[in-house]
Amino acid sequence: MERIAQEPESAEVEKRAGLKTFLMILVMIITGPLGNVLLGKGMKHIGMIPLWPVSALLHEGARIFSSASIWLGIASLVTFFVSYMLVLSWADYSFVQPASSLAYGVVALLGYTVLGEKISPLRWMGIAVICLGVFVVTRTGMHTTPRETEKQS
């Protein structure tokens, strides 16, 4: 009887963990591509960086790190990295990596809107196939192996 009373509570905890995981994957899907696009935009604005003489390289380094676009890109990528580490502590890598592939769609949208890139219909179709694969992966469980805490019980 006691076991039956605990199952709904356990299901509720699992549901919250799943929601938390999906929200953090959403953060990854947005911040990773956004950070890369902001860095790309900032570096295109800076232009080619000379490697020699060292004084020119130092001057360009100062220009790079005075760019708001570069700093926003770095902040976005740090946010991506932290969320990625968190999600990997909550779910299997074989779930997280494919689910985060929706970022390819965000990359294409940002490339098109922010960077003015032309994206062919064939490329859009490829992105749609990736998104379909993500849909299939998310229909599976987030864990395929027992968690460390479950092994010790």
Q: How confident is the model at residue 1 (pLDDT cuts 50, 70, 90)?
A: very low
pLDDT for the residue 151: 55
The larger pLDDT score, comparing residue 119 to residue 115, is at 119
Neighbours of 24 (CB within 10 A): 21
pLDDT for the residue 23: 94
User: In angstroms, what CA-CA distances link 57 with 39, 61, 63, 72?
Assistant: 18, 6, 10, 22
Q: How confident is the model at residue 135 (pLDDT cuts 50, 70, 90)?
A: confident
Q: At what angle do helices 103-113 and 121-138 cross, to 10 degrees?
A: 150
User: What average pLDDT does this structure show over 109-133?
Assistant: 91
CB 143 within 8 A of CB 91: yes
Q: How confident is the model at residue 141 (pLDDT cuts 50, 70, 90)?
A: confident
Query: Which tens digits make up the pLDDT trace of 36-95?
Result: 999 989 988 888 887 778 888 888 888 888 999 999 999 999 999 999 999 999 988 888
Amino acid at 22: F
Q: Please name the residue that has the structure tokens 């799943």.
A: 18
Amino acid at 117: E
CB 24 within 8 A of CB 66: no
| pTM of the predicted protein model | 0.75
CA 145 to chain centre: 23
The larger pLDDT score, comparing residue 141 to residue 128, is at 128
pLDDT for the residue 58: 84
